[in-house]
Structure 1
Amino acid sequence: MLARANDATLLAARLLLAAALLPTGIARALNVSGFALTLAGAGMPFPNAVATTAVVVQVFGPLAIILGVLPRLTGLALALFAAATACVLHAFWQFTGPALVAERTLMLADLGLAGGYLLYAMTGPGAWSWQGWRMGAPAPRAKPASKSSAKSGGGRRAPQVRAA
């Protein structure tokens, strides 16, 4: 029962982590050139290459997380992406007043997201994933016999056969 709850929690966490980037990634994929123009206007070097890389990471990274494919590589790549995004797009030290507070909050949120991706990279996706299926996640075990049936045998228990 505890294993099922753990796998369900890991699946929910994967879906939430993917939801943080996938909608933006899809929107940017539908207008990569517009995203590149935005980056160029902000002074980003090589805006076309950066825009294309960001779209690939923001679309395929969350899909890999949802499926549970290559968790260490995916988690580390998305953690680096989120940390880089935090530092490049939310340089709060360049602002004053309410803008400083807003940018600092966004930067800390992106850094927290990077931490979530690192946790995913270290814990893995769980049994309810492509990796779990590929590794042959164990089937749920049968319930043990009730105590009353074990006592009826004169205090001796019948030998239990364990499935391989």
Structure 2
Amino acid sequence: MLSRAQDGTLLAARLLLAAALLPTGIARALNVSGFALTLAGAGMPFPNGVATAAVVVQVFGPLAVVLGVLPRLTGLALAAFSAVTAVMLHAFWQYTGPALVAERTLMLADLGLAGGYLIYALMGPGGWSWDGWRAGAPAPRAKAAPRSGVKGGGKRAPARAAA
């Protein structure tokens, strides 16, 4: 029972981690050139390459997390992506007043997300995943009916047809 609860909790955690990046990744995938222009306007070198790499990481990374494919590689890549994004996009030290508080909060949220991906990389996806299925994790089974004390496992003789 404990392993089923743990597998269910790990599945829920994987879904929540993926939900943090996947919607933005899909939106950026639908307009990669616009995202590249935004990066170029912010002074990012090689904006087209960076935009393409970010879209690949933000779309395929969360999908791999949901499915539980290559957890160490995926978790480490997404943790690095989240940490770099936090530092590059939320440089709170350049702001003052309410903007400083908002940017610091966003940076800490991204760093917390990076921590979640590191935990995923270390813990693994659990039994309810592609990785768990490949490792031979037993599939959830229905409970067997309780056995009665009757000899023969509680089987009854077939009813006779009425003549």
Q: Which TM-score band (shorter chain)? A: 0.7 to 0.9
1:10-89 correspondence runs (5 A): 10-89=10-89
Question: Aligned AA for 1:10?
Answer: L
Instruction: Evaluate the alpha carbon distance shift between residue 142 and residue 25 of structure 1 in structure 2; reply closer, same or farther with a 3 A threshold.
Output: closer
1:131 aligns with 2:126: no
Instruction: Evaluate the alpha carbon distance shift between residue 42 and residue 142 of structure 1 in structure 2; reply closer, same or farther with a 3 A threshold.
Output: closer
Question: Aligned AA for 1:126?
Answer: G
The structure number with the bigger radius of gyration is 2
Matching residue of 1:162: none
Matching residue of 1:95: 95
Matching residue of 2:161: none
Deviation at 1:138, TM superposition (A): 2.6
CA distance in 2, matches of 1:15, 1:51: 24
Deviation at 1:118, TM superposition (A): 0.1
| Gap runs ≥5 in structure 2 | 150-163
Deviations 1:103-148 (A, max 9, x none): 00000000000000000000000000001111110355898xx9xx
CA distance in 2, matches of 1:31, 1:63: 19
Matching residue of 1:154: none
CA distance in 1, matches of 2:142, 2:66: 29
Deviation at 1:35, TM superposition (A): 0.1
1:7 aligns with 2:7: yes
The structure 1 segments of at least 4 consecutive aligned residues displaced by more than 3 Å after TM superposition are 139-143
CA distance in 1, matches of 2:86, 2:75: 16
Deviations 1:4-49 (A, max 9, x none): 1000000000000000000000000000000000000000011000
The number of aligned residues is 148
RMSD: 2.0
TM-score where L is the length of structure 1: 0.85
| Gap runs ≥5 in structure 1 | 150-164
Deviations 1:72-117 (A, max 9, x none): 0000000000000000000000000000000000000000000000
